[in-house]
Amino acid sequence: MSASRDQADTAVRYLNPDGPRDDNVQTVLGEFSDVLTLGESPGDTKEDYKKRRARVAAEHHLTIFDGRDEDGGVGAWDLERNGFTTAEAPEPAADFSDRRMLAKHYVPRVLELVRQTFDASRAFSAGFQTRTEATGRGTSQASYARFAHSDYGPEAEPQLRRILFHRYGFSEAEAQNCELCCVGFWAPIDRPAYQDPLCLLDAASFDPENLSEQSIRLLYSGLSLGSLNRDRAIEERIPVPAGDVPGLAPIYRPDHQWRYIPDMTPEQALIFKQYDWREGVASRVCFHNSFRDRFHEDWEDCPGRRSIEVRVFLTF
């Protein structure tokens, strides 16, 4: 096994639980109160973004642990104990910049992999995105994750049940009574993720039945747009992550356990819970983020991270 790559004293950005909250925030799917709103406006500079971020976020220094160094290595990661696991990535796409090709060929392979991993009945895409060094450390929504969060929270459930009936042909009884889980899939593309790797917060750090006191509800202002999914009725609209309904962000605690895979290759994939609505599960949500891996900071020409993520919702 390679030498441990634990990253001690690493800055992890969390949202500030004492930051300003908004009441009566309207999205196309409803009105929400007591939420923290984020967002970048067209024309904002990096300085504008940094000032806005400083009002709602704070850095905390923790160790991010090398998952290979644990008993059993990353293969011992368990969805119910940790909230995440690893898998062999599907056959890569011929061109990861071709969204039509991804939707037609690659995403279905991801859906089947995630469905089998959870032993679910059916799997549906809730959207996908590629990220590259071109925008990775910028201020756009295509940038790498910049604070700990999950894209969905408990309030997405009613809309997901509506689209099962209106969009995917479930009977009303099936749509209302099946079990639901939203899942994140993440993998490097083109080359290993030497920089800005994804890290995951061990779900054992949380009480799955007491998340409201351990997390903040957040919305990205500007992402819930009537122009999105214009060809679909509201009842068929897949919720925009943290745009139509609130996502979640963890409240910092010094005992949080973050884990990652150093220099993760395109042959590897991470599968983790965005939010699990099923009763009696041991883990309900897996918060995620990216961080600067200092191991390669002296590699002058170290290539930037390229990755793909697919959001999947499952029925059981």
Ramachandran sector of residue 310 (left: φ over 0; alpha: ψ -120 to 50; beta: rest):
beta
Query: Which are the contacts of 286, defined by CB distance < 8 A and separation ≥ 6?
Result: 82, 83, 84, 150, 184, 200, 201, 203, 272, 273, 274
Look up residue 136 and give its two tokens: 């990775």
By 3-state DSSP, what share of the chain in percent is helix, strand and coil, each rounded to 5?
A: 20, 30, 50
In tens, the pLDDT along 148-192 reads 999 999 999 999 999 999 999 999 999 999 999 999 999 999 999
pLDDT band of residue 233 (cuts 50, 70, 90) is confident
Between 121 and 70, whose confidence is greater? 121
Give the C-alpha separation, 73 to 71, whole Å. 5
Give the C-alpha separation, 217 to 248, whole Å. 5
Give the C-alpha separation, 29 to 315, whole Å. 22
Look up residue 161 and give its two tokens: 């049940």
Does residue 220 contact residue 138 with C-beta atoms inside 8 Å?
no
Give the C-alpha separation, 291 to 63, whole Å. 11
Give the C-alpha separation, 85 to 200, whole Å. 10
User: pTM (2 decimals)?
Assistant: 0.93
Between 39 and 234, whose confidence is greater? 234
Sheet containing 247-250: give its strands across. 36-38, 215-220, 247-250
Domains of the chain: which residue ranges? 7-296+303-315
| Whether pLDDT at 232 is above 80 | no
> ∠ CA(49), CA(126), CA(204), 5° rounding?
75
Dmax (CA) for the chain in angstroms is: 58
**Could you give the C-alpha distances from 313 to 114, 126, 275, in angstroms and in order?**
9, 7, 9
Query: Which are the contacts of 84, defined by CB distance < 8 A and separation ≥ 6?
Result: 77, 200, 203, 270, 271, 272, 273, 286
Q: What are phi and psi of 183, to 5 degrees?
A: -130, 145
| Whether pLDDT at 203 is above 90 | yes
In tens, the pLDDT along 29-88 reads 999 999 998 865 556 666 776 676 677 889 999 999 999 988 888 999 999 999 999 999
Does residue 277 contact residue 152 with C-beta atoms inside 8 Å?
no
- Site of tokens 């290993």: 192
* Number of Cβ atoms within 10 Å of the Cβ of 100: 8
